Amino acid sequence: MYEFRIGGKSVSVFPSAEPDAPVIYLNTYADEGQQVFQAVQAAGCPPFTLIAIGSTDWNRDMAPWDSPAAFKSGEPFSGGADKYLCLLVEEILPRAEKGLIGTPVWQGIVGYSLGGLFALYAIYQTDIFSRVGSISGSLWFSGWKDYVLTHEPKRPPDCAYFSLGDKESKTRNPILKSVRRDTEEIYAFYRAAGIDTVFQLNPGNHYNHAAERTAAGIAWLLSR
């Protein structure tokens, strides 16, 4: 593994020893890149490089546009995803991949929670990522489902992975309670468009086994 900082973000690269191995980008909330990488390796998946980015301003960098707070005590979302995606594509990606062996056969992007929302948003803004994973993604985000239904990705993904905890929609929060319905509708929309996609329910709420769920999503994308 090697690390660097750029644009105020911490970047951890877990390189594959195999040339031309695929690369997956993961935006992390609590620097869980090492844990995720080890879990994917333990599952016996094909060689790949994981590039984990931390030190993000979660409610700004992962949000596609401004939106009120999801919780009474929470902070509002200040849509900074476009600015962060520019940093990711133009500065983080070239520097992170410079030290890899060969040229990645494909590049994917995954994320958990708001990171899962950002991963999907990214494919509507750039054609770099050909595989995408939204794990316990915040697809309840105001206006997001309508955005998906009315916009075309820059490059339709080769495959897409969606998952949720089976208790995530069982909440009194009027914003979050739509998450399963919205995720299933987006999954069905992708499937109807001919995209190789899957939706998986995991036991537990939003905060259970985040690293393991993320690793499962990555493993599925690597298996396609």
Q: How far apart are CA 101 and CA 90, in angstroms?
A: 20
DSSP 139: T
Share of the chain above pLDDT 70, in %: 100
What string of H, E and C letters represents the secondary structure of 44-81?
A: CCCCCEEEEEECCCHHHHCCCCCECCCCCCCCCECCCH
Whole-number pLDDT of residue 30: 87
Whole-number pLDDT of residue 172: 86
Whether 175 and 191 have beta carbons less than 8 Å apart is answered as: no
CATH topology of domain 2-223: Rossmann fold (3.40.50)
Instruction: Show the DSSP H helices in the chain as ranges.
Output: 33-42, 58-61, 81-87, 93-98, 114-123, 144-150, 179-192, 210-223
Instruction: State the pTM of this model.
Output: 0.96
- What are 150-171's pLDDT values in tens digits? 999 999 999 999 999 999 999 8
Two tokens, residue 216: 């499962």
Whole-number pLDDT of residue 71: 78
- What are 8-52's pLDDT values in tens digits? 999 999 999 999 999 999 999 988 999 999 999 998 899 999 999
Domain extents in the chain: 2-223
